[in-house]
């Protein structure tokens, strides 16, 4: 074990040195995004008056309404709906889809098979109660071609009945690259050339602040995401957001509450300070998570595991997948990450059936906020090729410590 420790320590130092250039580039992005958030908060004169809880109908809740405006400006939207009443990212996405789509409409996913939990929302291949399919919304999809959007086939698939196109920015549980905003520019152009009235929706989960621009600047009409991922900065206790064109955001609001009430009701159930402060630190926290991902790729490629993306590849999300090849290693890796967590370090993760997921999932999440994947977390569906998906990290230092430990555990095994 001591030789393994020494070897891994050497590889850790090498990995940190090899990542230096990327770390610097990531810091520049964080600098630009912090400047943007700061300017927007100053413009809206954020003050202690916005940091409160409210109750009842919460008409004219100043903290809530100003937070909507701050998010809208930061994300480049006409309007945003930021709510702790969204129970998760999936809920925010579903509110946008159900709000915009009507029976007889068609929705086309142009980045292949959508993220696991969205499959039940769509009624993808197993019937789910209350799915879009049950409401008579038709679904079609254009697979990726070599991991990239297939622009020619997107133009063919989008027709007069296509009300909305879905784009997933992040890799999700797959090894394809995340889309960059430059990729999204091309997708939007292809969609609009086929049907100028078709709205482009981007599932922005894990993408926020990884670049200096967000998908709305790339031509998307509406985006949604989770507050216990990137834009909550690890401080938001729950929630999600929808942002984009005002008419479309209003439709999502009519679905979250009801027609007529929209975004004008909804108490601030947690101290709004947590949401403002979370957004303020989010660019920095995302930068730490990105550096952790680069470090993971550098370290585990030195141990001869395949990594997605490769260490030096450009990133459009905070996820780092590692090809561990066997279920045993998958479980060991997740347990090692859990052991090095600040919370529940004594718990041993087991694969289990999670709501919305087709395969058993193993999840290491020793997090302060339950399931928050902007905190260091590792999870994997128990299915070949047994890739683990690693993301988050409130501090880069913690990620380095935890991954070095995971590498030691996996290598000790090989030595047996």
Residues in touch with ligand PLP (CB under 6 A)? 88-90, 115, 117, 168, 170, 172, 203, 205-206, 226
Rounded to a whole number of angstroms, the minimum distance from the CB of residue 44 to ligand PLP is: 26
Rounded to a whole number of angstroms, the minimum distance from the CB of residue 367 to ligand PLP is: 13
Task: Closer to ligand PLP by CB, 65 or 208: give it.
Answer: 208
Q: Closest residue (Cβ) to ligand PLP?
A: 89
Distance from C-alpha of 168 to C-alpha of 166, rounded to nearest angstrom: 7
Task: Closer to ligand PLP by CB, 117 or 320: give it.
Answer: 117
Alpha-carbon distance values, 103 to 36, 214, 221, 257, 383 (Å) = 40, 30, 21, 20, 35
Rounded to a whole number of angstroms, the minimum distance from the CB of residue 13 to ligand PLP is: 32
Rounded to a whole number of angstroms, the minimum distance from the CB of residue 408 to ligand PLP is: 29
Rounded to a whole number of angstroms, the minimum distance from the CB of residue 20 to ligand PLP is: 28
Query: DSSP letter at 385?
Result: T
H/E element, 14: helix 2-18
The string of DSSP letters for 251-273 reads HHHHHHS-TTTGGG-----S-TH
Task: Closer to ligand PLP by CB, 168 or 320: give it.
Answer: 168
Rounded to a whole number of angstroms, the minimum distance from the CB of residue 319 to ligand PLP is: 8
Q: Considering just the CA atoms, what is the radius of gyration of the chain in Å?
A: 21
Question: What region, left, alpha or beta, does residue 58 occupy, with left being phi > 0 and alpha being psi -120 to 50 degrees?
Answer: left
Paired tokens of 82? 């930021």
Burial class of 310 by CB neighbour count within 10 A (0 to 12, 13 to 18, 19+): exposed
Task: Closer to ligand PLP by CB, 19 or 237: give it.
Answer: 237
Enumerate the β-bridge partners of residue 412.
none
Task: Closer to ligand PLP by CB, 111 or 307: give it.
Answer: 111
Burial class of 105 by CB neighbour count within 10 A (0 to 12, 13 to 18, 19+): middle
Rounded to a whole number of angstroms, the minimum distance from the CB of residue 228 to ligand PLP is: 7
Task: Closer to ligand PLP by CB, 13 or 359: give it.
Answer: 359
Rounded to a whole number of angstroms, the minimum distance from the CB of residue 349 to ligand PLP is: 17
Task: Closer to ligand PLP by CB, 168 or 404: give it.
Answer: 168
Rounded to a whole number of angstroms, the minimum distance from the CB of residue 206 to ligand PLP is: 5
Distance from C-alpha of 306 to C-alpha of 320, rounded to nearest angstrom: 11
Report yes or no: 100 and 165 within 8 Å, Cβ to Cβ: no
Q: Enumerate residues 6+ apart whose C-beta is below 8 A from 96.
A: 201, 222, 224, 242, 248, 251, 252, 255
Task: Closer to ligand PLP by CB, 65 or 116: give it.
Answer: 116
Task: Closer to ligand PLP by CB, 193 or 370: give it.
Answer: 370
Distance from C-alpha of 81 to C-alpha of 242, rounded to nearest angstrom: 5
């Amino acid at each position: 074990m001591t030789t393994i420790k020494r070897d891994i320590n050497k590889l850790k130092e090498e990995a940190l040195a090899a990542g230096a250039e990327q770390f610097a580039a990531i810091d520049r992005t964080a600098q630009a995004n912090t400047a943007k958030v700061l300017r927007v908060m100053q413009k809206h004169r954020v003050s202690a008056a916005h940091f409160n809880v409210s109750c009842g109908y919460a008409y004219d809740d100043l903290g809530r309404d100003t937070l909507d405006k701050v998010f809208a400006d930061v994300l480049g939207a006409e309007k945003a709906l930021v709510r702790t009443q969204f129970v998760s990212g999936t809920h925010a996405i579903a509110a946008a889809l159900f709000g915009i789509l009507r029976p007889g409409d068609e929705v086309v996913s142009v980045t292949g098979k959508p993220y696991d939990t969205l499959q039940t929302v769509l009624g993808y291949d197993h019937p789910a109660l209350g799915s879009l399919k049950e409401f008579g919304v038709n679904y079609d999809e254009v697979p990726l071609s070599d991991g990239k959007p297939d622009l020619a086939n997107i133009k063919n698939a989008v027709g007069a009945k296509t009300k909305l196109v879905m784009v997933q920015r992040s890799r999700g549980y797959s090894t394809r690259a995340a889309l960059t905003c430059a990729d999204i520019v091309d997708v939007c152009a292809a969609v609009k050339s086929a049907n100028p009235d078709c709205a482009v929706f981007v599932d922005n989960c894990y993408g926020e602040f990884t670049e200096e621009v967000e998908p709305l600047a790339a031509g998307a009409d509406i985006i949604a995401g989770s507050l216990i991922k990137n834009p909550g900065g690890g401080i938001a206790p729950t929630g999600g957001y929808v942002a984009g064109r005002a008419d479309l955001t209003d439709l999502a609001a009519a679905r979250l509450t009801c027609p007529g009430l929209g975004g004008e009701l909804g108490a601030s159930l947690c101290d709004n300070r947590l949401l403002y402060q979370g957004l303020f630190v989010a660019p920095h926290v995302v930068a730490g998570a990105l550096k952790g991902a680069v470090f993971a790729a550098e370290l585990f490629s030195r141990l001869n595991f395949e990594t997605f993306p490769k260490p030096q590849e450009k990133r459009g999300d905070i996820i780092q997948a590692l090809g561990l090849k066997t279920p045993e290693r998958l479980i060991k890796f997740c347990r090692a990450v859990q052991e090095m967590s600040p919370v529940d370090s004594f718990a041993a993760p087991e694969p289990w059936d999670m709501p919305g997921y087709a395969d058993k999932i193993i999840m290491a999440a020793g997090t302060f906020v339950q399931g928050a994947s902007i905190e260091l977390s590792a999870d994997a569906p128990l299915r070949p090729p047994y890739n683990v998906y690693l993301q988050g990290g409130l501090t880069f230092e913690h990620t380095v410590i935890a991954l070095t430990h995971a590498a030691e555990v996996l290598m000790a095994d090989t030595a047996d």
